[in-house]
């Protein structure tokens, strides 16, 4: 008996190890979760070569990630860096340092910066007083570098290096663990022809961040300073209205309703592009009571300006996927519920985001119930949605004699469990392994006949993969629990 048992244990362990080692069979996402696939289905097809290098979409209320792809890839955000400058300006207003009607006088330095052709800018006239509200519009829409510097210098009392240090300190405070700022605007200090002085800061330094960190920044910005959206939600804005210095700008955010790739619900936030960053995009969109935040980084190449438009097709596709795949609803009702084999009482109804048509599972910890999500929170400092609960103390009374009889009755079956779980585990593992091998073979054949195409799967290969995976998971469960 011992030899037989040892044989099946060894065989099962070998098969499970073989399955685990077949990393080539593990797909990073199913077809419906692949960006290129769901972009095509959503009506916003992404051309080959314009797939974002990194992207993420989160619930703006809870910070729950709804979809992500390489969210921690270090990337140059380009003019999206201006979002941090706006954040610090709003914070300074909250602290009472100035308000939207405060003005900044255009100096000769600012006029010269506004005339640098290589920088995105707005016209600045010597001696004119520019209200903060107009500077915000210039920063958000035409991505004016001179307006950004005027705003940053107002916050820091003209301490340009000090402001950059503030940017990095605030990033650390918000939990943006992979972000470093070298300038306030996204354009390197050296691009300002000596007019931007920041002692101790590398003038050639290129800002770095990630999709996750920029989503964290935007989450906090909208939570604390929702008024920022009034400067980002229009396809056309006019600054310095009713003055001789009025200018009208069309947004680069082509996903705003009324713009080239308008998407219903989009109301901000900022675009950015550069030779090192390609084309980047942060968007916010609201439908009903749901607001989402998305970040798209590295679409296309600076040498091909088509990326300026393609980033919005990618952004629209990601938003559409999130809105159509998830729903915000009541997950559990107030009162008595049975969760994880425990009888609990919820103090209130529990609402949250969940994938449509999927079975829900929950976690009970520290007196709070939360939903188990496919993805984590965007930051560990942002807690998941939860609701307090109390565990029922009532226990059913069991007749000791009946318990004894039940134990006797189950003894023979426990003997069978010792004899047969390894045989069953081995069979399940072998079948699962065969199905994974067939899936791989068919995918290779498809790839051979569709050269140049990214699509190397069919409903058949996906079915084989799913069935194989389920059989192997069943084998693991049998091996562990029986």
| Whole-prediction pTM | 0.75
pLDDT reported for residue 39: 84
**pLDDT-above-90 percentage for the chain:** 61
pLDDT greater than 70 at residue 159: yes
What does the pLDDT read at residue 459?
A: 66
| Residue in 82, 170, 208, 234 annotated catalytic | 82
Question: What pLDDT does 26 receive?
Answer: 37
Looking at residue 133, its pLDDT comes to: 97
Asked whether the predicted pLDDT for residue 410 surpasses 50, the reply is no
pLDDT at position 373, please?
84
Query: For 414-424, what is the mean pLDDT?
Result: 52
3-state secondary structure of 360: coil
**pLDDT digits 0-9 by tens, 55-82:** 999 999 999 999 999 999 999 999 999 9
Burial readout 132-171 (b: 16 or more C-beta within 10 A, e: otherwise): bebbbbbbbbbbbbbbbbbbbbbbbeeebebbbebbeebb
Q: What is the pLDDT of residues 457-469, one digit of tens each?
A: 566 766 777 777 7
Q: How far is CA 349 from CA 335, 346, 386, 467, in A?
A: 8, 7, 10, 36
- Quick: pLDDT tens for 138-151: 999 999 999 999 99
pLDDT (average), residues 395-406: 41
Q: Does position 409 have pLDDT exceeding 70, yes or no?
A: no
* The pLDDT of residue 3 is above 80: no
- Show me where the domains of the chain are located: 2-33+410-481, 35-325, 328-391
pLDDT at site 218: 98
Is 260 designated active site?
no
Instruction: State residue 293's pLDDT score.
Output: 97
Residue in 234, 381, 261, 402 with CA at minimum distance from that of residue 318: 261
Q: What CATH class does 35-325 carry?
A: alpha beta
Q: Which pLDDT score, from 0 to 100, does residue 53 have?
A: 95
pLDDT digits (tens, 9 = 90+) for 169-208: 999 999 999 999 999 999 999 999 999 999 999 999 999 9
Question: What whole-number distance in Å separates Cα of residue 300 and Cα of residue 251?
Answer: 20
Measured at the CA of 429, the angle between CA 474 and CA 358, to 5 degrees, comes to: 30
280-291: pLDDT as tens digits: 999 999 998 899
Catalytic residue among 55, 62, 76, 79: 79
Is it the case that residue 453 has pLDDT exceeding 70?
no
pLDDT-derived band at 357, boundaries 50, 70, 90: confident
Q: Check whether 31 has a pLDDT greater than 50.
A: no
Proportion of the chain above pLDDT 70, given as a percent: 80
- pLDDT score at 443: 60
Q: What is the mean pLDDT of residues 346-357?
A: 89
The per-residue pLDDT for 48 is: 84
- Give the whole-angstrom CA distance, residue 465 versus residue 438: 8
401 is catalytic: no
Taking only the tens place, the pLDDT of each residue in 295-335 is 999 999 888 888 899 999 999 999 999 998 888 899 999 99
pLDDT score recorded for residue 101: 97
What lies within 8 Å, CB to CB, of 395 at 6+ separation is none
Known binding residue 270? Answer is yes
Quote the CA–CA distance of 14 and 21 in Å, as a whole number: 11
pLDDT score at 451:
41
* Rounded Cα distance, 212 and 215, in Å: 5
**C-alpha torsion sign, points 119, 121, 123, 127:** negative
- Catalytic pick from 120, 137, 143, 144? 143
- The sign of the CA dihedral 442, 444, 450, 454 is positive
Lowest mean pLDDT across 35-39, 166-170, 289-293: 35-39
- Between residues 439 and 216, which one has the greater pLDDT? 216
pLDDT band at 50 (very low <50, low <70, confident <90, very high): very high
pLDDT digit string, tens, across residues 244-258: 999 999 999 999 998
pLDDT at 264: 94
Query: What CATH class does 328-391 carry?
Result: mainly beta
143 catalytic per annotation: yes
Query: pLDDT digit string (tens) for 79-130?
Result: 999 999 999 999 999 999 999 999 999 999 999 999 999 898 899 999 999 9
Instruction: Give me the pLDDT at residue 457, please.
Output: 57
pLDDT of residue 192: 95
Q: Stretch 210-234: mean pLDDT, rounded? A: 96
Q: Whole-number mean pLDDT of the chain? A: 84
pLDDT of residue 450: 46
């Amino acid at each position: 008996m011992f030899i037989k048992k040892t044989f099946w244990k060894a065989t099962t362990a070998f098969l499970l190890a073989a399955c685990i080692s077949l990393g080539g069979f593990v797909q990073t996402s199913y077809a419906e979760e692949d960006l290129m696939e769901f972009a095509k289905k959503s009506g916003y097809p992404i051309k080959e070569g314009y797939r974002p290098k990194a992207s993420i979409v989160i619930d703006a209320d809870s910070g729950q990630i709804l979809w992500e792809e390489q969210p921690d890839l270090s990337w140059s955000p380009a003019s999206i860096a201006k979002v941090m400058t706006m954040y610090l300006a709003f914070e300074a207003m909250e602290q009472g340092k100035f308000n939207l009607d405060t003005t900044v006088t255009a100096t000769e330095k600012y006029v010269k910066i506004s005339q640098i052709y290589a920088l995105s800018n707005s016209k600045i006239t010597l001696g004119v007083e520019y209200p903060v509200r107009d500077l915000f519009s210039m920063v958000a829409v035409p991505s004016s570098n001179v307006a950004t510097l005027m705003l940053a210098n107002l916050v820091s009392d003209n301490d340009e290096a000090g402001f950059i240090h503030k940017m990095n300190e605030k990033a650390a405070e918000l939990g943006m663990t992979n972000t470093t700022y070298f300038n306030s605007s996204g354009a390197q200090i050296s691009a300002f022809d000596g007019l931007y002085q920041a002692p101790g800061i590398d003038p050639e330094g290129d800002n770095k961040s990630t999709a996750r960190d920029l989503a964290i920044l935007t989450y906090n910005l909208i939570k604390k300073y929702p008024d920022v959206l009034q400067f980002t939600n229009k396809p056309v804005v006019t600054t310095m209205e009713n003055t001789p210095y009025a200018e009208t700008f069309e947004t680069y955010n082509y996903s705003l309703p009324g713009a080239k790739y308008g998407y219903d619900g989009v109301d901000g936030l900022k675009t950015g592009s550069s030779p090192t960053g390609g084309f980047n995009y942060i968007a916010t969109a609201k439908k009903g009571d749901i607001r989402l935040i998305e970040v798209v980084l590295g679409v296309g190449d600076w040498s091909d300006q088509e990326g300026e438009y393609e980033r919005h097709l990618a952004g629209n596709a990601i938003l559409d996927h999130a809105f159509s795949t998830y729903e915000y609803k009541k997950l559990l009702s107030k009162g008595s519920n049975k969760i994880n084999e425990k009888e609990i009482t919820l103090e209130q109804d529990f609402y949250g985001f969940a994938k449509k048509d999927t079975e829900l599972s929950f976690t009970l910890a520290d007196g709070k119930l939360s939903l188990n999500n496919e993805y984590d929170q965007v930051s560990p400092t942002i807690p998941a949605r939860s609701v307090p609960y109390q565990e029922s103390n009532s226990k059913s009374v069991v007749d000791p004699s009946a318990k004894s009889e039940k134990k006797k009755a189950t003894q023979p079956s426990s003997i069978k469990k010792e004899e047969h779980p390894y045989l069953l585990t081995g069979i399940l593992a072998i079948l699962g392994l065969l199905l994974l091998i067939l899936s791989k073979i068919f995918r290779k054949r498809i790839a051979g006949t569709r050269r140049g195409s990214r699509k190397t799967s069919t409903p058949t290969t996906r079915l084989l993969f799913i069935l194989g995976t389920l059989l192997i998971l069943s084998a693991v469960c049998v091996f562990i629990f029986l």
